[in-house]
Structure 1
């Protein structure tokens, strides 16, 4: 299955991930995460397939995260509430997100990409 790459073109980390994918000849479909964020059901599937804590899906360094006080919200909110919040704004989602429909990586770490996608 082809890879789906959710990214934000102005994000340096996303550009580094894209460079890595291109240099390894890996084909992917790119999706602008702010203009076309994953739906709530897509996010739920990504989260469940990732095996990660749902908090790892939040862009904790983003302005929106700070503005909305999400650091406090995630302490007490339920999983469905957090998924609703994530799906409300693509800027809240940590990027890039890369998936083949089964495996998922959140953010970009070269070692993790090597292990998962090379």
Structure 2
């Protein structure tokens, strides 16, 4: 009898875009530390995700551009994106996210076959601890 065993690579590493003053981002990093997941933390204000990374994340969220936006942020409200986003072409929305890191929902985590925005421990546990 043959058995297939899937092991998570002990060298798993992810990119985490975050805002350094964001308490939710700090909780996400603590979670990754406890799970022994190697990560590279990137300041989302100084270096927003690339268009390629945004498109990759979008594929994990079935093309729902709104899920990539920090809809509770000041800039989102100032730009009145709740009214504009439903009519905005996808490429324009992604360009806006790339230009303004504060608009990106954070933490923004990408890894091999993994894409997560926001930190909810119940969503991260099955990805990293299973």
TM-score range, shorter chain: over 0.9
Aligned residue for 1:116? 127
Aligned residue for 2:113? 102
After TM superposition, which residue ranges in structure 1, 4 or more long, deviate above 6 angstroms?
A: none
C-alpha RMSD of matched pairs (Å): 1.4
Q: How many residues align?
A: 118
Aligned residue for 2:75? 64
The structure that is helix-richer by fraction is 1
Counterparts in 2 of 1:66 and 1:91: CA distance versus 1, 3 Å: same
Where structure 2 has 5 or more consecutive residues not aligned to the other structure, the ranges are 1-11
Give 1:82 shift. 1.0
Q: Is 2:81 the partner of 1:81?
A: no
What TM-score comes out, normalization by structure 2 length? Answer: 0.84
1:28-67 correspondence runs (5 A): 28-51=39-62, 53-67=64-78
For residue 98 of structure 1, give the secondary structure of its aligned residue in structure 2.
Answer: strand
Where structure 1 has 5 or more consecutive residues not aligned to the other structure, the ranges are none
What TM-score comes out, normalization by structure 1 length? Answer: 0.92
Q: What are the Cα deviations for residues 34-62 of structure 1, in whole angstroms up to 9, with x where unaligned?
A: 11111222211221134361100000111
Larger Cα Rg: Structure 1 or Structure 2? 2
